């Protein structure tokens, strides 16, 4: 193989790894959303780094995998159904770190009532031996619609 | 080329084919949705395997390309417009078969009224010489909004 | 490397470049939408070809980067927030040109009121030394919901 051919091959391999990494991060965003909607908390935990920090809509930071999983379970387990639609994903890679911004439109259903949350996930990622994990997640809520009592847990008024 | 180089090249080729197959399945999901909304039933048929089985929202199974295309035409042809937004696509590949789960938010418009259906497409795929085709599709409806009479065909009350 | 190996490698390289180009166009669609929602007009301009033509919902054509950016600024700057969700992207490549169809669901928020626009972006792209740029954009509006006065600028009744 000529030097030119080797350089081309190296550039193509780098391009392929970039595409594959960005696809893997988008896959993890989607896996997280599907896990929420199927109440698959083991799968949810697999999307999170051990030292993950998460903040939803200006609340205080949750620290660690269990607090995040428990927060999600408390919010979702009393619903009849939910649908977390994720899209418009932008990813920036930097070696074993990444940042993404994605759009969320989340439906929450209970007793025939619906509450919709539109927002922006601003995420930091870390690459582990088992794949990309969310290291930090902030949900910026842009708008809501419907009946907010749908999301109120039993402990809330 | 060294044995290591050959192994690397083989791994990269496999990674590329995986990305391309998953992108092809996502493309077919989108082509199907665009075909519904432009009433392009020839294009819709191209997305389906000859022995396709489809079930919408717990109704009975439709078997074969023509029954599926005719069902779609009956549901959509009387509308003023529709928009089948597809997203959050998760694909699992296994040789010449694949499975996907994707989210649907479908708008149906008629006479200034709107009916929205949110759901989950659970699909099985088969690879043919002409590309990936839907072998089985189930639409699990998660929520609806608006006026359901928009979708009622002329034969329905 | 054998002739067969070279042919395989060339086919894989072509497949990779196709995937990367289509991903780059989807990235630009998303960057444009995020730029609208963060009022980042320098970033918006970077998505547009110098001789871009844009038409929103049957209005007259805007010609050139500045008229498009100014139109967007006039429409959006008075809002409290917006969310342009892009998805269901279909891309056709042809050398240094491309065409795409994508779905839009755009929320516009002001003073607690919301106006939603659902539509189809029909875009033509040109490849420049700096990447893919929108050469022509047409937004076909399929449906709206909510209070249209949210989008009315100060100069409109």
**A14 contact B CB<8A:** no
Question: What DSSP letter does each residue of B18-68 carry, written as one string?
Answer: HHHHHHHHHHHHHHHHHHHHTT-HHHHHHTEEEEEEEEETT-PPEESHHHH
Nearest Cα residue to C90 out of B27, A155, A130: B27
Partner C contacted by B113 (CB < 8 A): no
How much is the pLDDT for A1? 56
Q: What is the ipTM of this complex?
A: 0.92
Q: Does the distance separating the beta carbons of A142 and C83 come in below 8 Å?
A: yes
For chain C, give the mean pLDDT. Answer: 93
pLDDT at A157 over 90: no
Token pair 């009022």 is at which residue?
C39
Task: Note the pLDDT tens digit of each residue in B35-82.
Answer: 999 999 999 999 999 999 999 988 899 999 999 999 999 999 999 999
What does each C-alpha distance from C105 to A9, B17, C108, C134, C141 come to in angstroms? 40, 32, 10, 19, 10
Q: Which of A118, A121, A122, A140 to mutate to test the interface with C (most CBs of C within 10 A)?
A: A118
User: Chain B partners of A39 at a C-beta cutoff of 8 Å?
Assistant: none
Q: What is the model's pTM?
A: 0.94
At B155 the pLDDT is 46
Q: Tens of pLDDT along A20-35?
A: 999 999 999 999 999 9
In eight-state DSSP terms, residue B148 is G
In chain A, which residues have their Cβ closer than 8 Å to the Cβ of C84? 88
Q: Residue A19 in contact with residue C20, Cβ under 8 Å?
A: yes
Instruction: Identify the chains in contact with C, defined as 3+ C-beta pairs within 8 A.
Output: A, B
Measure B28 CA to nearest chain C CA, in Å: 9
- Within an 8 Å CB–CB cutoff, is residue C22 touching chain B? yes
CB contact under 8 A, B34 and C88: yes
User: B88-143, pLDDT tens digit by residue?
Assistant: 999 999 999 999 999 999 999 999 999 999 999 999 999 999 999 999 999 999 99
State the virtual CA torsion across B67, B73, B78, B82 in degrees, nearest 10.
130
DSSP state of A60: P
Whether C89 and chain B come into contact, CB under 8 Å, resolves to: yes
Query: Which pair of tokens denotes residue B74?
Result: 């009956």
Residue B79: strand, helix, or coil: coil
CA-nearest residue to B104 within chain A is A85
Which helix (H) or strand (E) is A74 found in, with range? helix A65-76
Is the CB of C30 less than 8 angstroms away from the CB of A143?
no
Mean pLDDT of A100-128: 97
The residue in chain C having the minimum alpha-carbon distance to the alpha carbon of residue A104 is C85
State whether residue C33 sits within 8 Å of chain A by CB. yes
Tell me the C-alpha to C-alpha distance, in Å, between residue B116 and each of A2, A50, B124, B148, C5: 58, 39, 25, 8, 51
Q: Taking CA atoms, what residue in A is nearest to C104?
A: A88
C144 has pLDDT over 70: yes
Say yes or no: B130 contacts chain C, CB-CB below 8 A: no
């Amino acid at each position: 193989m000529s030097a030119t051919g080797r350089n081309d091959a190296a550039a193509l391999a780098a391009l392929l790894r970039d595409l594959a990494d960005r696809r893997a991060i988008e896959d993890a965003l989607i896996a997280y959303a599907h896990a929420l909607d199927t109440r698959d908390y083991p799968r949810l935990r697999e999307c999170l780094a051990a030292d993950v920090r998460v903040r939803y809509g200006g609340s205080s930071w949750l620290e660690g995998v269990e607090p995040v999983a428990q927060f999600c379970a408390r919010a979702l387990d009393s619903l009849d159904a939910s649908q977390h639609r994720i899209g418009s994903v932008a990813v920036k890679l930097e070696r074993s770190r990444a940042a993404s911004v994605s759009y969320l439109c989340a439906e929450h259903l209970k007793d025939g009532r619906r509450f919709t949350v539109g927002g922006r996930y601003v995420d930091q990622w870390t690459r582990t031996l088992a794949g990309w994990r969310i290291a930090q997640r902030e949900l910026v809520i842009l708008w809501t619609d419907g009946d907010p009592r749908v999301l109120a847990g039993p402990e809330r008024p």
